[in-house]
Chain A
Amino acid sequence: MLSLENVTVTFNAGTPNEVRALRDLSLQVDKGEFVTVIGSNGAGKSTLFNVISGAVPPAAGRIVLDGDDITYMPEYRRSHAIGRVFQDPRLGTCPGLTIRENLSLAAIHGRSASFRRDVKKEQESWFIEQLEREHLGLERRLDADVALLSGGQRQAVTLVMATLTQPQLLLLDEHTAALDPNAAEQVINLTQQLASSQELSVVMITHSMQQACVLGDRVIMMDQGRIVFEIAGEERKNLQPADLIERFHSLDSGAELSDRQLLG
């Protein structure tokens, strides 16, 4: 479904500040698979998402989505196939527009904007149905300004909007990190429900070892622009947060001190 082949991303190439954010990275995600990505800050997790979604061009390598080479396709042209939710709840919805108007925008995915108003009835009722399941109290507030919603509510709306037009791939960038535990749980439930009902391929970045162990089929750990290990199958089923934390610490054992750490 999604495949990255030897992708390299370099920032400030040729200057003393050169940063190799992704180094020769390869990754396969199958249809309907749910992959969680962990790794310390600066490991390249967000760059991985930026290069998949087209916000950042790769310096080398190839990205293929569902058989199409999308390596250099502009962001806005590949976006209909890729839904993305960020950590900051303010990024996924537009303040000053009502929930219904935000939904209208999300429904444009994959075609060009027209002079039409309001979303199709079946899309709207599907949207309401998803929100109702988590009792967010938004079903009857479609004409409220999004700016008035709480972070959890906005993130739930963003998530449902991101899957409204049935993308092939959903990228979740620590999308519950800024929420309180209660709201985070609601958004996680919604994530699982949407992923399974739509057979989406999901890649989720998280700093919560708990989430990484409970959610999805496979765990990937990144460090310094590379994938350092993957856990799948039987091993993944029995995985405990403590195991992951142990492996996390083993990276800093000194055996792999990088130039950056030495110079830091």
Chain B
Amino acid sequence: MNATSAATAQTDARETSANRAFWLRGAALVLVIAAFMSAGNVNIGAVGQGLGYALAGVTVFLTFRVLGFVDLTVDGAFPIGGATCAVLIVNGYSPEIAIAAAFVAGALTGLATALIDIIFKIEGLLASIIVITAAYTVTLHIMGGKSNVPLLGEETLISRYSKDFRGWLVEQFGDQMRRQSTNLLEIMLFGVIILIVLGILYWFLRTEIGLAIRATGKNPQMVRATGLNHNLMIIIGLMTANGLAGVAGSLVVQQFGFADVSLGFGLIVRGLAAVIIGEVLLRPRTVGQLLIAAVTGMLVFDISRAWIFSALDLPTTDIQFVSALVVLAALGTPRLYDRWKTYQQRHGG
């Protein structure tokens, strides 16, 4: 009995210190990034862009990590969300309604993948490739047959506040801030949206439905034994996740000032990299920490890519290659590190 409680106290202490370490690592990371950006001459636009894409990282976290479902649908849900948002804004709807519609559009894309998986028993990887292929045409149709919808002169979430914000910024901090005003505004607006989304997800994933979705990935047998329809959990999970990809699409479209049919290209790899970078750097343990890590991972991805671009002075045509390299580094480094450690142990350091 005494041995048990001693062991218990020890485990509890380990858990507490691991939780504290997460926040310490997060604080250290913020400092490192800040130093890195000022030294490496990286524009803060990279932060705004990372925040725009961040919810797509959350999508990949929800599908791969929470549901245990290999889902590439994000590549299709993202441009569909973006296109829906752009078309609604062009037709005079408010940005809020456009963003909400983008969520629904993304969620329906996720539903398609879920239904193909459940009805035809086609595994997630193939089901989502089928959906991405079809999504390309759907995106084109949403945009009225055009491959690009510009938002020039339309009221977006950003353009609505940009004039007032620029005026306030210049008044407070002087004229040198004028150039950064759009970037700062994006960071603030997207930051608030992401905080709201993470807050809702944090609540949702701890409700009974949320718990059932988490258990579906880790122990589907237990979900069935609990009397829950685990197919329903896959549907709810994929719809929520890809709805967020749609929202990310709508944010990026407003940031870029146009929607494009090829906007989601390679996004799955980027989302996966974001999740892994977040896990490696922050070592999250609880649901809340895991959500924060996915967003942080996307930020680190965009900032490192921007740094590589400015350091090597590359043309924008090379962007996908550099993305692939950053992803490779994110995936490969932890594995190489493990092999190196095993090697060291075997050879006595």
Contacts and interface: CB of A to CB of B under 8 A. Distances in A.
A121 interface: no
B137 interface: no
7 contacts: A76-B224, A108-B212, A108-B227, A109-B226, A144-B11, A144-B15, A148-B11
A112 to B, nearest CB: 8
Contacts of A95: 218-219
Nearest to A96: B218
B215 A144 contact: no
Contact of A79 (B5, B209, B225): B225
A113 to B, nearest CB: 4
Nearest to A98: B286
Nearest to A119: B208
B12 interface: yes
B160 interface: no
B1 A135 contact: yes
B310 interface: no
Q: Residue among B209, B225, B226 with the most chain A CB within 10 A? A: B225
A114 B207 CA distance: 7
B239 to A, nearest CB: 15
B280 to A, nearest CB: 18
A112 B223 CA distance: 12
Contacts of A136: 4
Interface class of chain A by DSSP:
loop
A109 B211 contact: no
A132 B223 CA distance: 26
Contacts, number: 95
Contacts of A148: 11, 15
Contacts of B207: 113-117
A227 to B, nearest CB: 25
Contact of A104 (B204, B211, B219): B211
Interface of B: 1, 4-5, 7-8, 11-12, 15, 204, 206-209, 211-212, 214-215, 218-219, 221-230, 285
Contacts of B218: 94-97
A113 B212 contact: yes
B333 to A, nearest CB: 24
B15 A137 contact: no
A108 B228 contact: yes
A52 B4 CA distance: 37
Interface string A20-37: 000000000000000000
Interface in A14-58: 53
B215 A94 contact: yes
Given A108-B208, A117-B207, A97 B215 contact: yes
Nearest to A84: B225
A76 B209 CA distance: 15
B232 to A, nearest CB: 9
Contacts of B227: 76-77, 79-80, 108-111
A115 B208 contact: yes
A168 interface: no
A186 B288 CA distance: 35
B266 to A, nearest CB: 29
B8 A137 contact: yes
Given A76-B226, A84-B225, A117-B206, 15 more contacts: A75-B225, A76-B224, A76-B227, A94-B218, A96-B214, A97-B214, A97-B218, A105-B211, A105-B222, A105-B226, A108-B212, A108-B227, A109-B226, A110-B227, A113-B208
B215 A105 contact: yes
A133 interface: no
A223 interface: no
* Chain A to chain B: the 4 pairs with minimum beta-carbon distance, closest first: A137-B4, A79-B227, A113-B208, A94-B215
Given A76-B229, A105-B226, A109-B227, A141 B221 contact: no
A79 B226 contact: yes
A105 B4 contact: no
Contact of A114 (B4, B209, B214): B209
B27 to A, nearest CB: 24
Interface string A202-235: 0000000000000000000000000000000000
Contacts of A75: 224-225
A136 B221 CA distance: 26
Contact of A101 (B1, B211, B223, B229): B211
Nearest to B66: A96
Contacts of B7: 137
A94 B214 contact: yes
B208 A76 contact: no
Interface in A70-103: 75-77, 79-80, 84, 90-97, 101
A141 B12 contact: yes
A106 B211 CA distance: 11
Given A135-B4, A137-B8, A141-B8, A94 B208 contact: no
Interface centre among A77, A84, A101, A145, by most chain B C-beta atoms within 10 angstroms, is: A101
B235 to A, nearest CB: 13
Contacts of A115: 204, 207-209
Contacts of A53: 225
